[in-house]
Amino acid sequence: MCGILGSWQFDAQARGDAEDALARALPLIRHRGPDDIGTATIPTAAGRLLFGHTRLAIIDLSAAGHQPMIRGPLSVILNGEIYNYRELRQELRGLGHSFSTDTDTEVLLAAWKQWQQAALRRFTGMFAFALHDARDDSLTLARDAFGIKPLYYSLDGRRLLFGSEIAPLRALDPGLLRLDWQRACDYLSYGRYDCDERTFIQGISQIEPGCLIRYHTQDGVQPARWWTPGTTATWRGSFADAAAEFRERFLDSVRLHLRSDVPVGAALSGGLDSASITCAMRHLEPDIPLHTFSYIAGGPQSEAKWAQLVNQHCAAQAHEVRVDTADLERDLDALIAAQGEPFGSTSIYAQYRVFQLAREHGIVVTLEGQGADELLAGYSGYPVERLSSLLESGHPLQALAYAGRQARLGRQPLRLLMQSLATVSGKWGHEALRRRAARWPAWIRGRLLAEAGIQARPLLPSQRQGPRGRRLMQAQARALAGDGLGALLRHGDRNAMHFSIESRVPFLTPDLADFLLSLPEHYLVSARGQTKTLLREAMRGIVPQAILERH
């Protein structure tokens, strides 16, 4: 885990100041990498390309992991981890490549030399990197499948800037001060942010999850999507077979995420997702010291007893933090600065304090359960989408029964059915939904915004794109592509990196996503509306039964 920053100056008059500007801006991401700092100047046909890097040493703690790393015509700065680097290194050695370090960065360079862009599909990891190839004088900016690691850029006719956070980009170009009003209105009206390439700053964009851009001075920017979650039902086995397969794949993911040369802990809430991570860690490593870090809320919503149950089950050493309004008042400015952009709720302060607690106890890497809700039909189980699938696939009686069970869970069945019918009724029903939802709140002067070209952009169930009867899977695929999950991952990255913590999310791998999205929908949400049905079955014997039975 690190921080990256770079600039490619095309204006000859500005090149002399670029190195000084980079030196001033790089300390703004020193919290992302307190262990080492490095820069490199790369000559190109269009001028000098500058790379800057701050390192949080996780794997191969020696100076061999220093970045920027240059191997022949390839130069790279990497933020993140390629967890399966050992397996890839063995494969690449068989293809004639040699290695002088034990770093995943060197493996990335060899993989790119061997497979180019196709290497991305071979990586299991979280990453954002900038890679220059002197053979064609191109620069590639690439981001992992889910956008776990951030990557921003700003391009005009004078220069290309890129980095892990917005603040250093603004330091490189103080003219980047204008608010993006479309993003601001999305946020204020609908709570939407981190859901596409837009940021709150006009002129600064983010690489979207599963995407890259390739820049060449002759061809300009060439965007590409290297991973798209599919939703076609291809699994032909039973539910029991699927649970066994998921268990094997999930444990393998946790095993890879445990690779580290520094202490590893677990962020534990007491819920099913974090309990699955923590218990899998103990299952795979029965003898290692296991430290967990938990936020303990007061009142009837407290999950303290569930976290305690998991800690006892895993023989873990528990560390807890409680917060009050005085704590939030003290830390609010620091929280805002750490996030870099607006966020939806101060509830993320609890996570901020959990990472602070972990760092105080010498932990550098944590594993957490983020992404399980989007992969395994968590939250409320996506009831509108599940009902829509039942209606669309010709099962109206099952749909009525499902709606009735949702009523017993405290939801409004008639409203769910009406939304589902509108969703599956084709473009006319969808258009009616869009017109009804695409209204500005009463406190916003929509006419003035419309005159400025700003649109009302609520989050709506999209028209079907893909196979019929797969609305639930399509909703999860949209969430994984950034609309929903993106904000949560940004919160987690900034909160963790503020304390120089590498937060890992084992649920979020393309392998797990491709598998889960290929299953029948009722494997994830049962006929009686139970969410995460497959996860509950797969973790039997690993997670305490009382946790598995929680609603």
Q: Which helix (H) or strand (E) holds 423?
A: helix 413-424
pLDDT of residue 504 exceeding 90, the answer is yes
CATH 3.30.70.1340 for domain 239-375+484-548, yes or no, is no
> Using CA atoms, how far apart are residues 519 and 153, in angstroms rounded to an integer?
37
431 pLDDT band, cuts 50/70/90, is: low
pLDDT of residue 15 exceeding 70, the answer is no
Q: Single out the residue of 231, 145, 301 nearest to residue 468, CA to CA.
A: 231
Is 104 marked within a binding site? yes
The per-residue pLDDT for 484 is: 85
Q: Single out the residue of 208, 143, 232, 187 nearest to residue 481, CA to CA.
A: 208
pLDDT of residue 429 exceeding 90, the answer is no
Between 46 and 9, residue with greater pLDDT: 9
> Using CA atoms, how far apart are residues 185 and 198, in angstroms rounded to an integer?
12
Place of tokens 């649970």: 243
Mean pLDDT across the chain? 91
421 pLDDT band, cuts 50/70/90, is: low
Using a pLDDT cut of 90, give the percent of the chain over it: 72
85 pLDDT band, cuts 50/70/90, is: very high
Count the alpha carbons within 13 Å of 97 in the hemisphere toward its beta carbon: 22
> Using CA atoms, how far apart are residues 248 and 184, in angstroms rounded to an integer?
43
> Using CA atoms, how far apart are residues 432 and 212, in angstroms rounded to an integer?
35
The amino acid occupying position 530 is Q
Handedness of CA 303, 304, 305, 307 (dihedral sign): positive
Where in the chain do CATH 3.60.20.10 domains reside?
Answer: 2-225
pLDDT of residue 102 exceeding 80, the answer is yes
The per-residue pLDDT for 69 is: 98
pTM higher than the cut 0.75: yes
**Averaged over 238-265, what is the pLDDT?**
98
Q: Which helix (H) or strand (E) holds 510?
A: helix 510-516
**Averaged over 140-166, what is the pLDDT?**
96
The per-residue pLDDT for 258 is: 98
Tally of CB atoms within 10 A around 288? 12
2 classed as catalytic:
yes
Handedness of CA 484, 467, 240, 398 (dihedral sign): positive
Residue 67 near residue 108, CB atoms below 8 Å: no
Contacts of 521 (CB under 8 A, 6+ apart): 377, 386, 389, 469, 470, 472, 473
Between 443 and 247, residue with greater pLDDT: 247
Tally of CB atoms within 10 A around 235? 17
433 pLDDT band, cuts 50/70/90, is: low
Between 381 and 22, residue with greater pLDDT: 22
Dihedral pair phi/psi, residue 149, rounded to 5°: -105, 140
pLDDT of residue 315 exceeding 80, the answer is yes
Handedness of CA 63, 65, 68, 72 (dihedral sign): positive
Is 327 marked within a binding site? no
Q: List the CATH code of the domain at 2-225.
A: 3.60.20.10
pLDDT of residue 413 exceeding 60, the answer is no
Using a pLDDT cut of 70, give the percent of the chain over it: 91
pLDDT of residue 387 exceeding 90, the answer is no
Place of tokens 């690449």: 92
The per-residue pLDDT for 444 is: 77
Q: Single out the residue of 203, 129, 128, 186 nearest to residue 490, CA to CA.
A: 128
The per-residue pLDDT for 45 is: 84
> Using CA atoms, how far apart are residues 262 and 501, in angstroms rounded to an integer?
11
8-state DSSP, 167: H
The per-residue pLDDT for 371 is: 96
Among 2, 195, 211, 314, the active-site one is: 2
Between 184 and 396, residue with greater pLDDT: 184
The per-residue pLDDT for 422 is: 58
First to last CA, the chain: 35
Quote the tokens at residue 503: 């937060």
Q: Single out the residue of 161, 121, 111 nearest to residue 144, CA to CA.
A: 121
Q: For the segment 184-237, what is each residue's pLDDT rounded down to a tens digit?
A: 999 988 889 999 999 999 999 999 999 999 999 888 899 999 999 999 989 999
499 pLDDT band, cuts 50/70/90, is: very high
Among 11-25, 54-68, 93-107, 268-282, the minimum mean pLDDT is found in 11-25
pLDDT of residue 155 exceeding 70, the answer is yes
Q: Single out the residue of 195, 84, 187 nearest to residue 147, CA to CA.
A: 195
Where in the chain do CATH 3.40.50.620 domains reside?
Answer: 239-375+484-548
Q: For the segment 56-80, what is each residue's pLDDT rounded down to a tens digit?
A: 999 999 999 999 999 999 999 999 9
Q: For the segment 445-481, what is each residue's pLDDT rounded down to a tens digit?
A: 777 777 778 887 766 655 556 678 898 899 899 999 8
The per-residue pLDDT for 417 is: 54
The per-residue pLDDT for 140 is: 98
Place of tokens 């392998």: 511
60: left (phi over 0), alpha (psi -120 to 50) or beta: left
Contacts of 238 (CB under 8 A, 6+ apart): none
